[in-house]
Amino acid sequence: MDSNFAVIAVHLLGALTAGGIIGMERSIHARPAGFRTHTLVCLASSLLMLVTLYQWKWLPGVPMDTVRTDPTRMAQGIMTGIGFLGAGVIFKEGLSVRGLTTAASIWITAAIGILMGIGFYLPAILATVLTLGVLSGFRWIESRVPSHVYAHHVLRFHRDNVMTEADVRDLLMRHGFSIANMSYRITDDSAFFEYKMVIRTTCPENIGKLAEVLRGMPKLRNFRVSPTGD
């Protein structure tokens, strides 16, 4: 009994450590599922797999030849359940979908917990190291890869003093933006005319420069530039 307890403790402590390390990285970057969530996911996955490893303990007196559980079904059930938890951290914001990386980290943390639960320590440790490398190291690489930055952009003018669309396009082009799409709107009180558009640039600093220029335009009554995020 003591030897079994020691083995179970090693499995659970290994899962707790692996989940905590991955979760700490998520917490540092203020993600919705962080230190405690990842730790509990990994620990729960390991605990459930231990149930199948020690099935003879919770079926005392029953010959193992007559009743036998399939450990792979437990693993499938864990990964299916984790799908619901991962879906809870994914949300759409404007043109972008956020939380996918956190959902993926929860999913792989559950897989690491399964490996810890069945005692595959070497692949579990390697997977933990590789996961941290992807979450931290790849972030550094990703930040240096050129990519488009999108923003929601609204310009509001008095109805009788509106900047032409050609001038708007020229202004944005001169500040390093292109327009993904544009719509037009007259407000409910018929006093204002609005251009609504999605703009993109390859340089995030262009957003601040554009805001400075717009702030100094006397005919512009209101404007909004809202980056969509990653």
The residue ranking higher by pLDDT, 147 or 2, is: 147
Distance CA 98, CA 168 (A): 30
| Of the candidates 180, 178, 160, the residue with the CA atom closest to the CA atom of residue 169 | 178
Distance CA 105, CA 176 (A): 35
Per residue in 16-68, pLDDT (tens digit) is 999 888 888 888 876 767 788 888 899 989 988 888 877 766 566 656 565 56
The per-residue DSSP string of 156-223 comes to EEETTSPPPHHHHHHHHHHTT-EEEEEEEEE-TTSSEEEEEEEEEES-THHHHHHHHHHHT-TTEEEE
3-state secondary structure of 227: strand
For the full predicted model, state whether its pTM sits above 0.75.
no
